[in-house]
Every structure is written in structure tokens, then in C-alpha cells.
Structure 1
Amino acid sequence: MCMNKQYVSIDQLPATLRVFPLAGALLLPRGDLPLNIFEPRYLAMVDSAIASDRLIGMVQPLATLGPQGLHQIGCAGRLTHFSETGDGRYLITLTGVCRFKIIGERNDGAPFRSCDVVYNPFIHDLEPGAGEQAVDRVRMTDMLRKFAAASQLEVDWASIDAAPTETLVNALAMMCPFGPQEKQSLLEAVDLKTRAETLICLAQFDLAQGRRAAPGGGGGQFH
């Protein structure tokens, strides 16, 4: 994670945030999420972000509320990498800043969606490493080895050993091939310890059920 702007207070974050609904996509504070943007409305969203605060809110759709439904909790990301492909697409990377709660949606005529949000429930997201001491890192790493072997995930173990605990937990949560509901539960975990424990439980349940991720299906290499 590398950002030119450091956010130290939620007062630095906008009360209205452009949002990108994407099922199965998980962004967490200080995590990096690469995205391939090609729909016109989301190209316009990226243009808007570049022209202003460079922030985009990642949020998952909520099918039970119909095609326009959104989960209340998402994560704001700063656009830290941008490139054009020459065929009308943008390749971007969002770096997670802070989670938010949606309190309403705006109808301002833009082709993309914007929501009024609050960050107060997640103020500790701005503190790098918050809650690391409470995480059982040994148990987490042991779980990862078993799950990676069963799910055919490529893992750079040297990077795992060197990574700070927060980076480890959040990177694993983002890369593991769980479904949208499981991803949402990882996002909404109250603190890093709870997220780590949720991740371990999900992996253990997946292994117990004998499910396996298809090669290349949601996995990736951890650097």
C-alpha cells in the first residue's frame, strides 16, 4: 500500500461518496484492489474521482432488496494506480482507506451512484496495525497452509512470514475464494481479531465440506 495522501481523521473523508457495487469484491483498509473498468458509467465514475478527491466506495449488491439494493457497509478506497489500455478500458488500483455505512442515496443525475455515508463506526480503520496484538498469527498461518494446499492458491511464504499481521489478515481475506456473503462478513468484522477468527472459521468450514476452489478462481499470488 502506498498513498501520497495520508488520512488521519474521518473529517478528511467526504460525506458523499461515489460507489461501485460489485459482488464478491472485497476491499479492506490498506489493502490493494485491482479493477478492470469498461462500463461507461464506471469510466465516468473514475473520471469523477480523478477530478476530485480520488475516492471510490466499494460496496456489494444486496440481492434481497432487488437490483438496486446495496449492503449498508462498504469500504472507501483511494485511486492509487491508473492506466489506459487503448481499447476504452481503465486499469486501476484502489487502496483501502476506511469502511463506511450508507445512510442514504443521492440522485444527482450522474451516470454512476453516489451515497451519503458515515465513517464513525470504523474510526479505528485509520490506525495502521490496530488490533494486531490480539490476533493468533500462528493459528492463522497454519490455517492458510492447509487452505492454500486444498484450494490450489499460490502463496509466497517468504512474504507471508515478513508481512505485518494486519497486512496478512486483510490480504488473506481479500484473496481467499469465498462467496459474496462470506466476503461481507469479513468486511463487517468489528476488529482485526474478529476478522482473523472469521477467516479461520470460514476456511475450516470450507475444508470440512470438501469444497475446493477451481484453479485461478478467485485466488492469486500474495506479494
Structure 2
Amino acid sequence: MTKKFPDHIPVFPLNGVIYFPKTNLPLNIFEQRYLNLVNDAYSKDKLMGMVQSKKESESVYQIGCLGKISDFQKNRDGRILINLTGISRFKIVEEISNNKLYREFKVDYKDFNEDNNGSKNLIDTRLLMENSKKFFKRNGLLLNWREFEKLDQSQKINTLAMIAPITNEEKQKLLESISLKNKVETLESIINFYLHETDFNSQTIQ
């Protein structure tokens, strides 16, 4: 059964920040417009959207992620520290005109039912996990793989997609992958490209 989420949501556009369902995003809020957004969302249903903005432009990507404020702390200097827990991806339908400092959008979730209903079939991710460990090690990134193994399959894939040292455009491509299977295939392709590129460069230098 598909869960019902609001189709009119406040959205925080932020370049270079892409997050996924079942992941956590800590945010340090200090701009007045986003202080207003967070305060309004927290007093209503604690729901807000995140979407990547395009460089040097007011435009945003069409696919973002709805999150719930799971931690909320006000600092004496006026900043608000929150943790946002990803729930479901959405597709922007249109921007809603308002008299607020922050932006609101009409969105729909129908393409992303799997975010909450789960994938019906387990996907073989052994090669992806093996190559991810190599990729992270080559980039000097530490991940507690023992704790990582405790996550369910979609959490593992979304976590890798969020923290992998790849470009924002590649992460956006992963966010836009409709099914978990598509996401796994895309992530495998991206990581394999970087591993092969590193191997080629090493051979060239020698």
C-alpha cells in the first residue's frame, strides 16, 4: 500500500547536497528564509523537501527527496541544527507562488513507490560491495563496514550513493534511478569507471 505524503511542500534547494530515502542529513540552518522554512515545517508536520539547485541559477533539478525533521535544536546565536531523515523521492510538478521567503512546490511521488514499499526481489550486490570497498580505500575513505552490513539492502545502496566520492551530477543520476535495480546498475557502472581509470593511470605512470 502506497503511503500518502503531502503534494504541496516547502523545499530547501541546495547545490551539491543530494540525499536519499532511509539516509540522514544533518543541516546547520542560519539564513532567515530557511530558518522560517524549518520553523514552519517543524510546527506543522516536520516534513520538508531537499532538491539540488543548479549552479549560478535559481532553477532546480526535477527530482528531490522528502524528509522528516528527526532532530531539532535551537542555538543561542539563532542557528537551528536539524537532522533530516529521508522518506521518499518526489518529482516537481510546478512551483507554487507564495508570499514567504522560502520556496514551495507541488510534487508527486508516484514514480517512487518502491522507496516505501520496498523492492520485491533481492538484488545481487556482491560485486558492487566488493568494488565499493576498493573504491573507498583508494580514496582514503573509512567506513565501518561491520555496522554497514546491519542495514537493509536499500539503506546500503542509498548510503553508498550518498557518501561515495563521485560528482554531484552522478549522484543526481542515482537519485533519479527509478528502481533499486536501476540504482545498483548505475552505481556499479560509475564505480567501475573510476576503478578502471585509476588502474589505467597507474599503468601509464609506470
How far does the alpha carbon of each residue in 1:13-44 deviate from its partner, in whole angstroms, 9 at most, with x for none? 11111111112212211111111111111111
Residue 45 of structure 2 is aligned to residue 53 of structure 1:
yes
Cα distance change, pair 186–84 in 1 and its aligned pair in 2 (3 A): same
Picking from 35, 44, 47, the partner of 1:43 is 35
In structure 2, distance between residues paired with 1:52 and 1:109: 18
Cα distance change, pair 208–137 in 1 and its aligned pair in 2 (3 A): same
User: Structure 2: 5+ residue runs without aligned partners?
Assistant: 200-206
Which one has the largest radius of gyration? Answer: 2
In structure 2, distance between residues paired with 1:201 and 1:100: 24
> Could you say what secondary structure the match of 1:99 adopts?
strand
Picking from 187, 192, 199, the partner of 2:175 is 187
Opposite residue 2 of structure 2, the aligned amino acid is S
Report if the CA contact (8 A) 1:131-1:191 is conserved. Answer: no
Q: TM-score, normalised by structure 2?
A: 0.90
Q: TM-score, normalised by structure 1?
A: 0.83
Aligned residues: 199
- Counterpart for residue 67 of structure 1: 57
Identity of aligned residues (%): 37
In structure 2, distance between residues paired with 1:170 and 1:74: 14
Report if the CA contact (8 A) 2:111-2:178 is conserved. Answer: no
**Displaced runs of 4+ in structure 1, greater than 3 A?**
none
Report if the CA contact (8 A) 2:28-2:79 is conserved. Answer: yes
Cα distance change, pair 14–161 in 1 and its aligned pair in 2 (3 A): closer
Cα distance change, pair 199–107 in 1 and its aligned pair in 2 (3 A): same
Residue 162 of structure 2 is aligned to residue 142 of structure 1:
no
- Counterpart for residue 122 of structure 1: 112
- Counterpart for residue 200 of structure 1: 188
- Counterpart for residue 26 of structure 2: 34
How far does the alpha carbon of each residue in 1:156-206 deviate from its partner, in whole angstroms, 9 at most, with x for none? 121123322111111111111222211110101111111112112111222
Per-residue deviation at 1:10? 4.0
